Structure 1
Amino acid sequence: VAKVLPRMSSYSTLEYDLSTGKRGTRDSKVRKLLRSLSGAEDAMVVNNNAAAVFLMLKALTTSLKEDKIPEVIVSRGELVEIGGSFRIPDIMREAGVKLVEVGTTNRCRISDYEQALTENTAALLKVHPSNYEIQGFTESVSVRKMAELAHTKGLFCFHDWGSGSFYRFKQRGLSEYATAEQELAAGPDLLAFSGDKLLGGIQAGVLLGKADNIQKLRKHALYRALRLDKVTLGLLEETLEAYLDLKRLPEQVPTVGLLELTVEEIRKTVKLFLKRLKLPNKSALKCELRKTESRTGGGALPELPIESAALVLSHPEWSANDLQEWFRSQPVPIIVRVHEEQIWLDFRTILPHDSDELMSVITRLI
């Protein structure tokens, strides 16, 4: 933010090409960065991932006759609803396409997609189940197989990835999460994902894919309503530039840095915090270091546990809910977790520059 603010408070070359002295495109730098980081032929950004999915469905499924409604095939197990009541079926309806459900909630095969093809089929859509998991007797179809089927029939294959990154995490569990380059290698015509979440940037919707498909999206009338403003573009540029130096990335992008912390590093931070707190021997407030598990959160891998360490607080005169409300009511609100009638502060989520404020708040309880 500090790097972007000077640009935001002065004249901007947002749509001015300095090399030619003529009108340029506002996202030229972001497009160049996205192409370099992903290996995609072309790229574009809109104001969030829901907008990205809506635009690709609206703009690329209009080749049928006027009296025909384009059909898009989706697995029943991928008809997601995420925060804010964003539902895939609603987005598809508003985009003017007919949803064709295949498979069952827990199992879907490539033959299900094949049997659902009609003369009105426009695309196959893969949706990442970003905020839930289906476990047990399950089966799903890879993007690669879906793309192969779509392309043999002259159809599009779209992938709503939800949350993406250009960085291969070292953290156990997260290390299995693919990069954007790997996802594109599976062959989807367009890949859509968020500019925040795992990427760690500003809210935006990233679209990567074939140049001719991206150009069709850019020329669609809806793009002007969904494009990013200069502040958001500036912040996204800074985040993407950080990905050019993967060795320093955890230092530059807090989301990546926090996710990559080892449990040993976190335990050391909690111990240092307790030492600085200097809790009196007769204090009613009890503070202790306990092991815990972090979650990446919805939009990525909601059920993936990451080993962490927490500061656990309790007070004989305060219930856990009372303490929770008290922390939340501070000038700088602190959001805690209640577990076993105690307050838990997962130190993976504590930014270094917030440590002093947290110390000040807890001190007021002593």
Structure 2
Amino acid sequence: MSDVDPRRAIPRTDVLLADPRLVAAGERLGSGAVRGAVSSALARARRGEIMPSEVLSEAVAALPGRASSLTPVLNGTGVVVHTNIGRAPLSAAALEAVVDAAGYVDVELDLRTGERGRRGAGAVAALREAVPEAEAALVVNNGAAALVLATTALASGREVVVSRGEMVEIGDGFRLPDLIASTGARLREVGTTNRTHLEDYLDAVGPDTGCILKVHPSNFRVDGFVASVGLEELRDARRPDGSVVPLVADIGSGLLTHDPVLPHEPDATTSLRAGATLVTASGDKLLGGPQAGLLLGRAEAVERLRRHPLARALRVDKLTLAALEATLRGPVTPVTSALHLTADDLRPRTDRLAAALGREVVAVVGRVGGGGAPGVPLPGWAVEVPVAVVARLRTPMEDVPVVLARVEDGRGLVDLRCVPPDRDVDVERAVRAALAATSGSSSP
């Protein structure tokens, strides 16, 4: 019997790092991740947990499949703007623009003169083309930031007049009163939860009024004995000295023009025509672009916001600007396409998927999501699967895409509304694998 310690056969670190597979992984994931995987495999070999000949394969297997920990998913929930999975998926044009902008770009440079240029001029120009009623536009990093900048610049140390029926709470417990208070402005609540009249606003306006704020209650509805005041009625509200009070309309959803599928959802064009001084909105909701806060309105007001010190802290990066411009100038976005699919459009695809899997087709109602148009149903169809399959679908499996489905009335549902048609085959593959994996623990 040989007395030679088998650990003497453990390969050297430099030999391992020179392997083509690890060299390629280093270019994709970075040298730190590769060295960490190699060190871990070597330590296991020295402890005798693996054979020296297995070190290289173990190091390769330990490397992550992607450079980011974020896991791509296929949205089979029927919820178009799904906050938990990143809201709006970018269009092909926006994806191309992001890749192009990932290197050095003229984000803040005038190539003709070689001098410093206006940051994000292309995205701002695209916004103004999409909403001609806007004299000027500004882009910040999200919708809440847009509202914070507007109220800070217009009303810090002064009053913001807002209806009690519009004192909303947005996602993750963030509330409008807290948001406004953080700007240094004082909230002046008027009216009641269900009824606010023009006189309530006018009685509250005084020399210390910074602005009037109208907030679209996008994630809930109040029906019955209700009353509210439109922008047209508030556009000429004046302080005692005769100066017009700025009117800020937070429409939330990012809809730029009227959409007949969403008849009661406010849009930027209509809001500006109605008299809003400024409109604030999100770019990653119904606009279907990247996360961004949009500010559109009168040139004087927008310039006041642009020059405010807070604007620097809230500005967006070159990737967002590129994606936003491409979204505005490009073809119909995935969000718009999904919203406009009818039940008749979805039935053939759903039938094919159900037939391939041997499952049933059921009628369902999709949702806009993202706090937008809560009362608007999106009729469609889904493939019914066991509830256990829903959990399995969102569990990463080798060579199988992650699919997010939903559970409703005790049934698992896979809805193709938000799935690109060319990915139906991937959904089929994932559901087939999930059905096989759960066949021993759930009924078919």
Shorter-chain TM-score bucket reads 0.7 to 0.9
Matched AA of 2:419? I
Question: Number of aligned pairs?
Answer: 336
Counterpart for residue 411 of structure 2: 342
The letter of the residue matching 2:144 is: A
Alignment match, 1:103 = 191
1:193-239: CA deviation from partner (whole Å, max 9, x where unpaired): 00011110000000001111111111111111100101111111110
Alignment pair present for 1:268 and 2:348 = yes
Give TM-score, length-normalised by structure 2: 0.72
Give unmatched runs, 5+ long, in structure 1.
63-68, 243-247, 280-286, 315-319
- Structure 2 residues without counterparts, runs of 5 or longer: 1-93, 437-444
Q: Counterpart of 1:36?
A: 129
1:291 and 2:360 are equivalent in the alignment: no
Q: CA deviation at 1:30?
A: 1.0
Counterpart of 1:301, as a letter, is A
CA-based RMSD of the aligned residues comes to: 1.8
**Counterpart in the other structure of 1:357:** 426
Change over 3 Å in CA distance of 1:6–1:199 after alignment to 2: closer
Give the 3-state SS of the residue equivalent to 1:208 in structure 2.
strand
Deviation at 1:170, TM superposition (A): 4.4
What's the CA shift for 1:187?
A: 0.7
| Residue in structure 2 matching 1:74, options 162, 185, 189 | 162
Counterpart-to-counterpart distance in 1, 2:191 and 2:260: 35
Match of residue 118 from structure 1: 206
Is the CA contact 1:291–1:310 (under 8 Å) kept in the aligned structure 2? yes
Is residue 59 of structure 1 aligned with residue 153 of structure 2? Answer: yes
Of 242, 245, 249, 1:159 maps to 249
Give, in angstroms, the shift of residue 10 of structure 1.
3.1
Report if aligned partners of 1:150, 1:157 keep a CA contact under 8 Å in 2.
Answer: no
Paired-residue identity, %: 37
Q: Is the 8 A contact 2:389 2:431 kept in 1?
A: no
Contact residue 309 and residue 346 of structure 1 kept, 8 A: yes
Letter in 2 for 1:45: V
Q: Which runs of 4+ in 1 moved over 6 A?
A: none
Instruction: Report the 3-state secondary structure (helix = DSSP H, G, I; strand = E; otherwise coil) of the residue aligned with 2:228.
Output: coil
Does the 8 Å contact 1:123/1:150 carry over to 2?
no
Correspondence 1:3 to 2:96: yes
Question: Which residue does the alignment assign to 2:390?
Answer: 324
Task: Please state whether the residue corresponding to 2:279 is helix, strand or coil.
Answer: strand
Q: How does 1:170-209 map to 2 (within 5 A)?
A: 170-171=260-261, 174-209=262-297
Using the TM superposition, give the Cα deviation of residue 264 of structure 1 relative to its aligned residue in structure 2, in angstroms: 0.2
DSSP 3-state at the match of 1:188:
coil
Q: Secondary structure in 1 aligned to 2:218?
A: coil
After TM superposition, the structure 1 = structure 2 runs for residues 133-144 of structure 1, keeping only pairs within 5 Å, are: 133-144=221-232
Please tell me whether Structure 1 or Structure 2 has the larger radius of gyration of its CA atoms: 2
Mapped partners of 1:175, 1:58: distance in 2 = 32
Correspondence 1:227-246 to 2 at 5 A:
227-242=315-330
Q: Contact conserved, 1:170 with 1:260, CA < 8 A, in 2?
A: no
